[in-house]
A and B are shown apart, each in its own frame.
Chain A
Amino acid sequence: MVEIVNRPYEKAFERYARANPEVLCLSADLTSSCEIDKFRDKYPEQFLSLGMAEQNMLSFAGGLGLAGFRPFIHTFGVFLYRRPYDQLMASIAYPRRKVRLMGFLPGITTPGGMTHQAIEDIAVMRSIPNMTILETGDATEVESICEAADSIDGPVYCRVLRGTVPRLFDTPIEVGRMRELSLGDDVLIVTSGITTEEALRAKGALEGAGVSVRHLHLNTIKPFDAEAMLDHIGSVRHGVVTLENHVTEGGIGSLLAEIMADNGVGKKLVRLGLKDTYAHGGSRPYLMKYYGLDATALVDGVGRLLGRDLGIGEEQLAATRVEAVHSKEKAEAL
């Protein structure tokens, strides 16, 4: 079975920040929620509490960037761009400050409901000039997110997973490089974040039904090099299915649509995710099922693309195991 890692960000941030004294740890009253409470207690001189005041925090971080520091802002993803959008634009994105926006609880990974669920963050961030977007999909990516983010010459928004996180990969994030998880030739499945694990669950069942799956995992959403993606799209017979923990407008589904339209690719695209809707509060499995973000939704989407019922039941998906990364059948094996 897959390895589950507890609070991977906590240790990763401490290790990275201690090795890089110009990194500052900023928090807005969600310190333990963002797994930096031990860091605060151990290294108060490298920690800045900015209170429940995100507008000031973002402009303040811009000022720290101007002074040559590289602030890592920790809060829930929604609080990094909804209320302080103007400050994000004027104080961070426009002047290309090296501010690292660590957005926790992406999409429906919180029971906090609409006010806490960053469901359109990628759409917002993709439309901001100078912004880079990274998303973590497993514990290894969370462990490498600090180094990846801090390698960006400018601002970067990261979707960070917290708490118990499965380990799917054994190599760190390489910015700009997607993971090729399988290289079949019927259908291309593109996922990022928590939907990658769902696709890994669906893959076995899909192959059992005779569908050859090509599966890509994105950890760098912007900037995006279309060339490699075009090769993959060209390598499948039937088309592309995207599954994202985000609304289907402006996220990776839109990214694929733009690449395909821009290059005149005449293949079908099925975009799965939140369909022009807010979510409500509930457990992650419940929300993923209710809003069609899980392996079942993906199998249905592939069936829709192929125009046939694949005859895969919930019980088959439930029985599908995601293998441990260090096992012989590790997820990254092609």
Chain B
Amino acid sequence: MKNTKTTEEVAFGIRARVFEHAMRNNGGYLSQACSAAEQLAWLYNEELNLGAPTLPMIPKPFGGVPSASNPDYHTGAGYNGPAEPEYDRLFIAPAHYALVAYATLIEVGRMAPEGLEMFNKDGSSVEMIGAEHSPGMEVHNGTLGIGFSTAAGLAWGRKRRGEKGRTWVYMSDGEVQEGQTWEAIAAASHHGIDNLYALMDVNRQQCDGAMNSVMEVGDIKEKIEAFGGVAVWVDGHDLDQMRAAVRTPHRGKPLIILANSSPFRGMPYLQLRFPRLHYVRFKSERERADMNREIARSLGIPPIDYGKGH
């Protein structure tokens, strides 16, 4: 697809859209938009080789779960284009980043803005925790730590078939607390799965708070390399560093780009909510109004008109 926006514009649009949505709905995954905006913008706007979407710009309602009696079932992967050999595939492993991922799809013209209005509405496929059938999703990743394994299996299969397309996983750093992540890196290395790429948002936050207060994970790069992967640190808000990192040689090994990021980037006022950033729900109308004024100011946009009585 042809880019109509710069990647910087896409990143800005992701933050603004998630901010607007959070204001209108009295909360949302704001800090994930702050940390991930440049990363998802870079993937979708530059790095990933994706075909045109195969699903309607305005998402269809929930169409049932997979079963033998639901032959029309399909995943949301069509928003990333068709699963053709030459194209890349992307899994969003932290499924709670869905709001940010949907905002990205809108910013890069793969979903209509109306899609976000369906977010977390009963009967909608645009679910709060991205499901297989949600726009841009292909597998269930709501239980953290399973995404990289699934991608490794898919990548092995695609390599065996001689497909040129890469398999990408967007990961979160909290997932390294799960043992399965390390099993998966070891397996991918053992089997030489080098068409497998991950971009990990290292924002050092998890549901309970700062990761070092919940369970310290140590040096992620050192650990990945000890398990047989290739890892490279970048500033997760620096597009040029990501552009360079993806060219890191990793023959016979998966490449994991560790994107050091800030959960307040672009919305410094969110620091007031530290360390509870996982899902920001406004505690009072006063806080909501303050957030609206201050974050809008730092984004350089007018405050959101979210109406009264919400």
A172 touches B (CB below 8 Å): no
Asked if B150 and A62 make an inter-chain contact with CB atoms under 8 angstroms apart, the answer reads yes
Which of chain B's residues have a CB closer than 8 A to the CB of A154? 68
B146 touches A (CB below 8 Å): yes
Contact check: which of B140, B157, B161 meets A95 at CB < 8 Å?
Answer: B140
7 further A-B contacts with Cβ under 8 Å, apart from A63-B149, A63-B151, A90-B143, are A53-B183, A63-B154, A67-B154, A86-B146, A90-B140, A96-B66, A130-B66
B142 touches A (CB below 8 Å): yes
Which of chain B's residues have a CB closer than 8 A to the CB of A67? 153-154, 156-158, 160-161
Contact check: which of B66, B68, B139 meets A91 at CB < 8 Å?
Answer: B139
In this complex, how many residues of chain A approach chain B with their Cβ under 8 Å: the count is 31
Which of chain A's residues have a CB closer than 8 A to the CB of B190? 49, 51
In the complex, which residue of chain B has the Cβ closest to the Cβ of A84? B180
Given the contacts A67-B157, A87-B146, A90-B140, A95 and B66 also touching, CB distance less than 8 Å = yes
Identify the B interface with A (CB < 8 A): 65-68, 75, 132, 138-143, 145-146, 149-158, 160-161, 179-180, 183-184, 186-187, 190-191
In the complex, which residue of chain A has the Cβ closest to the Cβ of B67? A130
Given the contacts A91-B149, A129-B67, A56 and B183 also touching, CB distance less than 8 Å = yes
In the complex, which residue of chain A has the Cβ closest to the Cβ of B151? A63
State in angstroms the CA–CA spacing of A14 and B75 once bound together: 34
Which of chain B's residues have a CB closer than 8 A to the CB of A48? 156, 191
Identify the A interface with B (CB < 8 A): 48-51, 53, 55-69, 86-87, 90-91, 94-96, 129-130, 153-154
Which of chain B's residues have a CB closer than 8 A to the CB of A56? 149, 152, 180, 183-184, 186-187
Asked if A59 and B68 make an inter-chain contact with CB atoms under 8 angstroms apart, the answer reads no
Asked if A51 and B186 make an inter-chain contact with CB atoms under 8 angstroms apart, the answer reads yes
In the complex, which residue of chain B has the Cβ closest to the Cβ of A90? B140
In the complex, which residue of chain B has the Cβ closest to the Cβ of A26? B153
Which of chain A's residues have a CB closer than 8 A to the CB of B157? 63-64, 66-69
Asked if B132 and A60 make an inter-chain contact with CB atoms under 8 angstroms apart, the answer reads no
State in angstroms the CA–CA spacing of A64 and B140 once bound together: 15
Which of chain B's residues have a CB closer than 8 A to the CB of A57? 187
Which of chain B's residues have a CB closer than 8 A to the CB of A86? 143, 146
Given the contacts A64-B157, A67-B154, A90-B140, A55 and B149 also touching, CB distance less than 8 Å = yes
Asked if B66 and A60 make an inter-chain contact with CB atoms under 8 angstroms apart, the answer reads no
When A and B form their complex, what is the total count of cross-chain residue pairs whose Cβ atoms lie within 8 Å? 110
CB distance from A271 to the nearest CB of B (A): 29
Which of chain B's residues have a CB closer than 8 A to the CB of A49? 190
State in angstroms the CA–CA spacing of A94 and B146 once bound together: 14
State in angstroms the CA–CA spacing of A62 and B149 once bound together: 9
CB distance from B227 to the nearest CB of A (A): 11
Which of chain A's residues have a CB closer than 8 A to the CB of B139? 62, 66, 90-91, 95
Asked if A53 and B186 make an inter-chain contact with CB atoms under 8 angstroms apart, the answer reads yes
State in angstroms the CA–CA spacing of A62 and B186 once bound together: 17
Asked if A63 and B179 make an inter-chain contact with CB atoms under 8 angstroms apart, the answer reads no
Most buried by B among A50, A51, A60: A60
Asked if A91 and B187 make an inter-chain contact with CB atoms under 8 angstroms apart, the answer reads no
Asked if A59 and B180 make an inter-chain contact with CB atoms under 8 angstroms apart, the answer reads yes
Which of chain B's residues have a CB closer than 8 A to the CB of A53? 183, 186-187
Asked if B132 and A64 make an inter-chain contact with CB atoms under 8 angstroms apart, the answer reads no
Closest 4 pairs (CB-CB, A-B)? A63-B153, A67-B157, A59-B149, A56-B183
In the complex, which residue of chain B has the Cβ closest to the Cβ of A154? B68
Which of chain B's residues have a CB closer than 8 A to the CB of A66? 138-139, 150, 153-154, 157
In the complex, which residue of chain B has the Cβ closest to the Cβ of A95? B66
Which of chain A's residues have a CB closer than 8 A to the CB of B67? 96, 129-130
Which of chain A's residues have a CB closer than 8 A to the CB of B142? 90
CB distance from A111 to the nearest CB of B (A): 28
State in angstroms the CA–CA spacing of A94 and B150 once bound together: 13
In the complex, which residue of chain B has the Cβ closest to the Cβ of A58? B149
Asked if A94 and B153 make an inter-chain contact with CB atoms under 8 angstroms apart, the answer reads no
CB distance from B89 to the nearest CB of A (A): 9
State in angstroms the CA–CA spacing of A41 and B138 once bound together: 35
Given the contacts A50-B187, A53-B183, A94 and B132 also touching, CB distance less than 8 Å = yes
Which of chain A's residues have a CB closer than 8 A to the CB of B161? 67-68
